[in-house]
Structure 1
Amino acid sequence: MFSTNYAPEHSGIGPYAAQTAEHLAALRAEVHVLAGMPHYPAWRVHDDYRGRWRAEEVRRGVHLHRRRHYVPSRQTALLRAMYEASFLAHGWFRPPSMRPDIVLSQMPSLAGAVLGARCAHRHEVPHVVVVQDLMGAAAAQSGISGGRRVAFLVAGAEARVLRSAALVGVVHESFVKPVSAIGVPASRIRVVPNWTHVSCPTGDRSAVREELGWHRDEVVVLHSGSMGLKQGLEVLVDAARITVGDTPRIRFVLMGDGNQRSRLERLAEGLPNLDVVPPAKDEKFPDVLAAADLLAVTQRASVRDMSLPSKLTSYFAAGRPVIAAVTAQGGTAQEVRRSGAGVVVEPENPRALLDAVRQLSFERDRSAALGAHGPEYVRERLGREAGLMRIAALLGEALKTKASRSRAAAVG
């Protein structure tokens, strides 16, 4: 497997890469992963790995080969290119020594997918790519400085990798059309939804709120996860500014880390109803989500078909209503509507978001019904075992197709 992100990263792609690799190892496969140094979502290398060029370790049966790479503290097209290029160079010239039967790449990153394609080609084995984010679309839509100017270059490299893959897995149906549009036959695309990688909440909700300093008579709107450009979290800051002094009090909480955190902290100065806090510990995370009244997912208006926030699976498991301030035609909106666990409002519009907050906080029965749909949706569609089995089946299909072609060639 090639994945820049991997555990102990606790959000984004890292948990999915780690759980996939560990599942395959539990099925008695010998699993090797070329990964970067842990750095997400803070965009700084974890203290335990700082200053190391390479690291070899075995984690829950998985052989990890970590390579040092540049980690930018802020996001521009140039700095992101340096991030990708450094991982590509270190993996290219210092690849792990192995002879695989099959190669699995997680995209992003683009560098990891290019390395995966090279490894598969060298050993004449199938290459399977799981698309978590579309890199070309991300460059154009995320708001990264200089992104639009390089989007066609990124999209071109991405297209070459995906067209050469034996099979392409996409985490949502909304990715099928853009992946087909770059030349990947529909016969080689499979939908492999992500799963809920956190446990269900078990703590006493009132006690957790008290521990967090959230009062019983206030409405808590929580955003958890990466604080990056594409999230457009300024909408929550603007909403908090509008509601200062309101009764009942609406408290906005931005919990997580990312390259925009320091900027958001500056914007939040002087706002008594907005907290910017670090990520919760893994064991506390489900209970913190469940302690909120409403869970917010936000995206810039320009974000349409580039990604599906991984936080949604955790939100649904928490059993709280979701407010999605996202483009109505995008995959995020589709997923929230399909789950029945939340509402969709116009992105980058704080007053539209506040209207939804006030309405759901007043309509308690409706709010409770929306929240209850989340765990139901998790049980029906987002179970971990089912999600991992879909990935294993994807690999099995690629191996079976290769074996069939080999037999046909031999007969011919």
Structure 2
Amino acid sequence: MNILVYGLNFSPELTGSGKYTGEMATWFAENNFNVEVIAAVPHYPEWKLNSKFENKWSIEKKDNLIIKRCPIFIPKDITGYKRILHEFSFHLTSLWHWLPCFFKRYDVIISVAPPMLIGIYPTVYNFFWRKCIHVYHIQDLQVDVARELKLINSKILLSILYRAEKLILKNAGIISSISDGMKDKLLSKAIDKQKYFMLPNWVETDFIKPLAPNISMLQRYGLTINDFIVLYCGSIGEKQGLEIMIDAAKHLEGFQNIKFLICGNGVQKDALISYAESMELNNIIFANTLPYNELPDLLSIAHIHLVIQKAATSDLLMPSKLTTILSAGGVSIITANPGTTLYNLIHKHNLGICIEPGSALALSETILFTYNNYSIMENKKLNARNYALSFLDKENILNRLKKAIEK
């Protein structure tokens, strides 16, 4: 079976959709499918070209996997306008690799949104090759998020984007997303319920697992075994509202052994560092994203894991960092309003503690509560690990996708 995977982000990017798209393509190739990938050069979450690549067209071959890279516009300062140019540049440059694909037979095309318009070329391909299955996988309801966060205010532009989305959804053979909230939103767009397939972000549960605190990892950041570590590990972007971590750290600066470790990269990192510096805090440590092979050791040193996002995106996004936290058996504090998918998931399975989004006071009070009552968190740790084993295992999820495609 010939599979074409089309996505803006791809391995070796360590966070976001690129990580999962890369693992998915590699998994299919390792299971004897012929897989081609069209993707941009690696640049996320730093918004900087990966030093091992050049910003040009290229082709890599690895057994059953062929990766076709495209140059893109990578803005230094991220604005809504420049992000549109960034995504449009990929649509434009990827056409170079797409043109010969229109004359080749693929059994399956998997496109990964965002960008939302990633489904346009596969839709055009399906007009000529009717038997090809287009799997439109949605990691982020981009246009809905942009509207809710007021990143796009033009009614004309929103109308154009929603019309394009409608065309893609109508013609896709399988439509997948990563959460029940996204599923409900998609079904409200009048898609055929029989087309829908739940494809949550997965985790390698045999690699990301509960471990004793790694002493060398503690020493790397100037921490000790006696510190109570509050960890945020992930992208630092505009969708999270991470300023409340700095405000919470200010509330808790009198507790000398409560330390905040913010590990990641993204467009808002410099602003976040400046905000922390303006408060002259000495209980926050900023670090860069670590290689994937060091992630279990990083997770091992945290007492509390933070999953922060704005209220407006609670049902439109499912934070991918949560899967690794659960697999590591971590105690998490999650910003999510009652009634949202994320809130319901956490409460149904007793996986962590939900607080109201945007409240630094609620965050600091909850951290202090867990600090004073950490011994009673063992049940949440066990529930988190068991949930990951039951529902988030990589092999199980990708095998289900394989069977759905074959069916």
Residues 146-171 of structure 1 deviation map (CA, whole Å, 9 limit, x = unaligned): 58884443333222211210111121
- Asked whether the 8 Å contact 1:221–1:251 carries over to 2, the reply is yes
State TM-score, norm by structure 1. 0.90
Q: Does 1:91 align with 2:97?
A: no
**2:315 & 2:7 partners in 1: Cα distance?**
21
Tell me, what secondary structure is at the counterpart of 1:49? coil
Shift of residue 267 of structure 1? 0.7
CA RMSD across the alignment: 2.1
- Out of 45, 49, 59, the residue aligned to residue 49 of structure 2 is 45
Equivalent residues in 2 for 1:1-400, closer than 5 Å: 1-50=5-54, 52-59=55-62, 61-95=64-98, 96-97=100-101, 98-124=104-130, 125-142=132-149, 144=151, 146=153, 150-197=157-204, 199-201=207-209, 204-205=212-213, 207=215, 208-244=217-253, 246-269=254-277, 270-397=280-407
State TM-score, norm by structure 2. 0.91
- Asked whether the 8 Å contact 2:241–2:308 carries over to 1, the reply is yes
- Asked whether the 8 Å contact 1:325–1:346 carries over to 2, the reply is yes
**2:48 & 2:204 partners in 1: Cα distance?**
23
Residues 115-139 of structure 1 deviation map (CA, whole Å, 9 limit, x = unaligned): 2222333322221111111122121
Shift of residue 206 of structure 1? 5.1
The alignment covers a number of residue pairs equal to 395
> Which amino acid in 1 is paired with 2:114?
P
- Asked whether the 8 Å contact 2:265–2:289 carries over to 1, the reply is yes
> Which amino acid in 1 is paired with 2:208?
C
Tell me, what secondary structure is at the counterpart of 2:271? helix
**2:162 & 2:261 partners in 1: Cα distance?**
35
> Which amino acid in 1 is paired with 2:305?
L
Residues 83-108 of structure 1 deviation map (CA, whole Å, 9 limit, x = unaligned): 12111112234415442112111111
> Which amino acid in 1 is paired with 2:262?
L
Residues 256-313 of structure 1 deviation map (CA, whole Å, 9 limit, x = unaligned): 0011111111111121111221012221111111211100010112213221111111
Worse overlay, 29-38 or 388-397:
388-397
> Which amino acid in 2 is paired with 1:173?
D
Change (3 A) 1:326 1:191: same
Tell me, what secondary structure is at the counterpart of 2:7? coil
> Which amino acid in 1 is paired with 2:229?
V
Shift of residue 360 of structure 1? 1.2
**2:255 & 2:108 partners in 1: Cα distance?**
59
In the alignment, structure 1 segments of 5+ residues that lack a partner are: 398-412
Shift of residue 349 of structure 1? 0.2
% identical equivalent positions = 23
Tell me, what secondary structure is at the counterpart of 2:312? coil
Shift of residue 241 of structure 1? 1.6
> Which amino acid in 1 is paired with 2:222?
G
- Asked whether the 8 Å contact 2:203–2:393 carries over to 1, the reply is yes
In the alignment, structure 2 segments of 5+ residues that lack a partner are: none
Tell me, what secondary structure is at the counterpart of 1:48? coil
Residues 27-73 of structure 1 deviation map (CA, whole Å, 9 limit, x = unaligned): 211110111111111111211223x3201002463110111111233
> Which amino acid in 2 is paired with 1:35?
A
